[in-house]
Amino acid sequence: MVHRPVLLSRRQLLVGGTAAAAALLLGACGDDDAGSSATSVAPGGSAGEEGLALVPFVGGAPVHVPGPVRVPFGVADGDGLLPVDGAPDELEVQVLDGDGQPLGDAMTVARRATGLPRPYYAVRTVVAAAGVYTIRTEVDGIGSELAFQVFEGDQAAVLGPGDPLPAIATPTVDDAHGVDPICTADPVCPLHDVTLEAALAEGQPTALLVSTPAFCQMAICGPVLDVALQVRERFPHVRFLHAEVYAEPDVDLERTAPIVDALGLHFEPCLFLAGADGRIVERLDTIYDEVELADRLAALA
């Protein structure tokens, strides 16, 4: 029998006062030292005898539901995530169901790092039912595993494919709508010229990134914003927007911006890709590089 792991509440994940809760929220967003420490002990990964492990970029987030799933992860040793030039070019992986049986054929996943300081791998597969699944591979001949959980749709609060993006007034340079600052990137990024509400009314595809760049310039949140900025000129038919997680991060981290609750988020960063009808086509959780993002944007209509 598969036992479902105990989940932290959304409040614990978002604004927990303990270091552990903060590490979960910023599991993809710490500085270099904090990020390395967190990823070396991240939940869901199983280290080999030499200390190599597959590690998730966010711990325990209930974001997968039956259907197509994307599971990004890194490869780490005892010192943390391997650097780009130390991570294998590709991994041969097998996804297993809760009974340890293969879910489809083994697959090869390539290392991704175009435009990023950290490499990652992304397994894409289709699961038919809720449960705990396992990704199994070998790194330098040493077996390693990573567990991920798939929840029933009504248990995963985060909006996903098929859901409409919420038509709310996100902060812009002309009206902060109670969020200060509207962007923690330095300099402020150019993705705050219109609200999400206005963008959806334009009737074109939308790419909405929710992240806090100032918290992780060298980890993930800052770099994935840079990735979006690098590729957006190649997709003029897509409206790109960025929204911050916290309403007033310089004052406290216990009040999130309205967009966070509207999307049901309890982790960051997260990129929502919606079609011209405003419905979410895909969600890229925690990390993506220029190649993967361009590939997914090309499919938007």
Amino acid code (one letter) for 179: V
Pick from 281, 293, 295, 268: which is nearest to 68 by CA?
A: 281
Maximum mean pLDDT: which of 130-144, 166-180, 210-224: 166-180
The stretch 155-175 carries a mean pLDDT of 94
Where are the domain boundaries for CATH 2.60.40.1930 in the chain? 10-155
Report domain 196-297's class: alpha beta
Note the pLDDT of residue 46.
Answer: 52
Pick from 133, 132, 113: which is nearest to 121 by CA?
A: 113
Structure tokens at 141: 């001949």
- Has residue 42 got a pLDDT over 60? no
pTM of the model: 0.84
| CB-neighbour burial class of residue 96 (10 A; exposed 0-12, middle 13-18, buried 19+) | middle
In which band, very low, low, confident or very high, does the pLDDT at 154 lie, cut at 50, 70 and 90? confident
Note the pLDDT of residue 163.
Answer: 95
| 237: DSSP letter | T
- Has residue 36 got a pLDDT over 90? no
Pick from 34, 32, 33, 13: which is nearest to 22 by CA?
A: 13
Cis peptide bond prior to 181, omega within 30° of 0? yes
Where are the domain boundaries for CATH 3.40.30.10 in the chain? 196-297
Question: Residue 244 to residues 192, 232, 247, 262: CA-CA distances in angstroms?
Answer: 10, 19, 8, 13
Distance CA 165, CA 264 (A): 11
If you count them, how many residues does the chain have?
Answer: 301
Structure tokens at 263: 């999307």
The stretch 30-51 carries a mean pLDDT of 40
Distance CA 167, CA 164 (A): 9
Element (H, E) at 294: helix 290-297
pLDDT in tens, 141-150: 889 999 999 9
E-state strands within the chain: 45-46, 53-56, 67-77, 80-81, 90-96, 107-110, 121-127, 131-139, 142-150, 206-210, 239-243, 270-274, 280-285
Note the pLDDT of residue 140.
Answer: 75
At the fourth CATH level, which superfamily is domain 10-155? Macroglobulin (MG2) domain (2.60.40.1930)
Note the pLDDT of residue 207.
Answer: 98
The stretch 88-106 carries a mean pLDDT of 96
